[in-house]
Structures are given as C-alpha cells and as structure tokens.
C-alpha cells in the first residue's frame, strides 16, 4: 500500500496548501491511504468540524488531533458524529471520540490508525502512552486483522518518539511523530519492518515560530511578557509529511521517505 501522513496543519496557510495539493498528490502518487494531522488547523489551535470536512473532502481518509484536540469547542460534539477523526488514546478518561480506528483503504484493505500523547516536556500529565498503544496493536495484528497499522506519536521529545518507534517495531507499519512542527531527517525502516520518522513536520508557513507569526513568540522569548495572542503565519505553507509503502501480506514497510513540498523548505519527495 502507498500511504501518506501529513503533519500538523497550521492555520489558513496550512489548510490551503492541503486542500490545493492533496487531491492531485493522491492521484499522482496513487495513494491508497492518507492521514492528516489537523490539531492546529483552525486559528492555530484545534480543529473545527468545518475545517475537518475540508481535509476529508480533499482526500484524507483519517484526521488525527493532539494535545490541542478540543481547543475548538465544536470538536467535542463533532468528533462523536465523524468516526474518521481520531484524538489521542490517552487524552483523558472522559474525552469524547476515539483514540483508534480501523479504516478502509483503496481495494477494501484495512488500516489501523491510532494516536497517543507522549509525556516528556508536555504541559499535562497524560496516562501511559506505551501501554495504550500496546493494547491497540495487540488487538489489531499487522498482516492479520489489518493490512497496515499507523501510530501517530504526538509529543515534544524525540527520545520518547524513538522509544515508541522501537516499542512498535514489527507490529506497526509506520510510527510517525507530530507536535514539534519541525521535520526530522531520520526517516528509516526499523529492523522489524516499521517505518519511522521522529517528526513529520507541519503543513504551515516556515517563516514563523513553529507556524505562528513570529512577533508574539519573539516578544515573549525576549521580554518574558506577552502582549497579544499567537496568530498563524500567513505566508505560503510547506506541505510536510511522511510517505510509506507497505507489503499487504505482512504489513511491513518496504519504503519510507520524508515529504516537503512548496513554501520555504528544501523540497523532498518519494
């Protein structure tokens, strides 16, 4: 299977890049399955139902969220009506929606998508992501019940992400990091056949501080005092993500590549 994961979409610039480019990418790269992380798509914080629909209409099979899952209050209800939206498994015991799902890819094949929040340097104490992901992967064996399995590990620390990659090696098809908004140069296939990249990067304007107009973050760094809200940067976005090919029989990855298209970053494609 040919699959694409797109990292955190930030604001209007990110939304426009996804809706403008994803339909053609799906065709040109003959993608069987697409996941988009939408946790910063609406004003940089959270995701509205209307913006989620934009991504699903543009060719996303699943939209994942993150620590900003419910910053847009409308998602609290919307997620209960739209099973193609996944929030972290360990967000909160009482959170609406689901942290995992099995979805249909082209040709009737089945793909497990799950998301977990890491705990290192995160602003809240979440439940253990490793046991949550372990239970999910045990219930959906790769090459058995599902043809492929994708784990989105949403956290700050590359060490924790790499730990999750190795923890899932041989069981997931792809473990991909999100949340830091900066793509890492470590896309690889781990020994057990799990594709891994510490962070896919964002779909947003890189003339910014992780997608936000740089004025307010800089003011806070330099003076220690905030004056206004963070607002997404509005320049042309780079579409950042991870491309993976898998063997349907085993669910193992056979190819992985970082993707960076448009905007300011050096281009990379499969």
Residues 122-181 that bind Fe ion (CB under 5 A): 179
Q: Which of 38, 66, 143, 204 binds Fe ion (CB under 5 A)?
A: 66
Indicate which residue of 43, 51, 68, 154 is catalytic.
68
Q: What are the structure tokens assigned to 224, written together?
A: 């220690």
Least distance to Fe ion from the beta carbon of 147, Å? 28
Contact 151, 133 (CB under 8 A): yes
Q: Of 60-68, 88-96, 115-123, 218-226, which part binds Fe ion (CB under 5 A)? A: 60-68
CB of 67 to Fe ion, least distance (A): 4
8 binds Fe ion (CB under 5 A): yes
Among 40, 173, 194, 246, binds Fe ion (CB under 5 A): 40
- Tell whether the torsion through CA atoms of 56, 100, 42 and 49 is positive or negative: positive
Tell me if 67 contacts Fe ion by CB under 5 A. Answer: yes
Residue 68 known to be catalytic: yes
Q: Beta strand pairing status for 100-104 and 174-178?
A: unpaired
Residue reference for tokens 């009737």: 108
Which residue, 67 or 160, is less far from Fe ion as judged by CB?
Answer: 67
Q: To the nearest 5 percent, what fractions of the chain are helix, strand and coil?
A: 25, 30, 45
Distance of CA 128 to CAs 85, 157, 164, 180, Å? 22, 15, 12, 20
Is 198 a residue that touches Fe ion (CB under 5 A)?
no
Q: What is the binding site for Fe ion (CB under 5 A)?
A: 8, 39-40, 66-67, 179
**Catalytic residue numbers, as ranges:** 68
């Amino acid at each position: 299977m040919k699959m694409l994961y797109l990292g955190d979409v930030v604001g209007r610039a990110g939304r426009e890049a996804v809706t403008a480019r994803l339909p053609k990418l799906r065709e040109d790269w003959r993608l069987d399955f697409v996941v988009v992380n939408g946790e910063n798509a609406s004003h940089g914080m959270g995701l509205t139902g209307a913006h989620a629909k934009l991504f699903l209409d543009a060719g996303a099979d699943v939209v994942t969220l993150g620590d900003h899952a419910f910053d847009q209050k409308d998602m609290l209800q919307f997620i209960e009506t739209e099973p193609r939206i996944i929030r972290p498994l360990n967000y909160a015991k009482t959170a609406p929606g689901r942290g995992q799902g099995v979805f249909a890819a082209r040709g009737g094949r089945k793909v497990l998508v799950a998301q977990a929040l890491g705990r290192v340097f995160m602003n809240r104490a979440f439940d253990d992501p490793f046991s949550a992901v372990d239970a999910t992967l045990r219930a959906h064996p790769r090459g058995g019940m599902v043809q492929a399995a994708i784990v989105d590990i949403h956290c700050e620390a590359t060490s924790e992400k790499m730990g999750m990659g190795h923890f899932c090696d041989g069981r997931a098809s792809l473990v991909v990091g999100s949340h830091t908004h900066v793509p890492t140069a470590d896309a690889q296939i781990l020994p057990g056949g799990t594709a891994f990249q510490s962070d896919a990067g964002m779909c947003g304007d890189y003339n910014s501080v992780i997608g936000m107009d740089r004025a307010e973050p800089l003011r806070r760094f330099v003076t220690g005092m905030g004056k206004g809200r963070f607002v997404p940067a509005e320049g042309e976005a780079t579409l950042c993500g991870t491309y993976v090919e898998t063997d349907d029989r085993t669910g193992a990855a056979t190819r992985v590549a970082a993707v960076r298209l448009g905007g300011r970053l050096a281009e990379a494609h499969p």
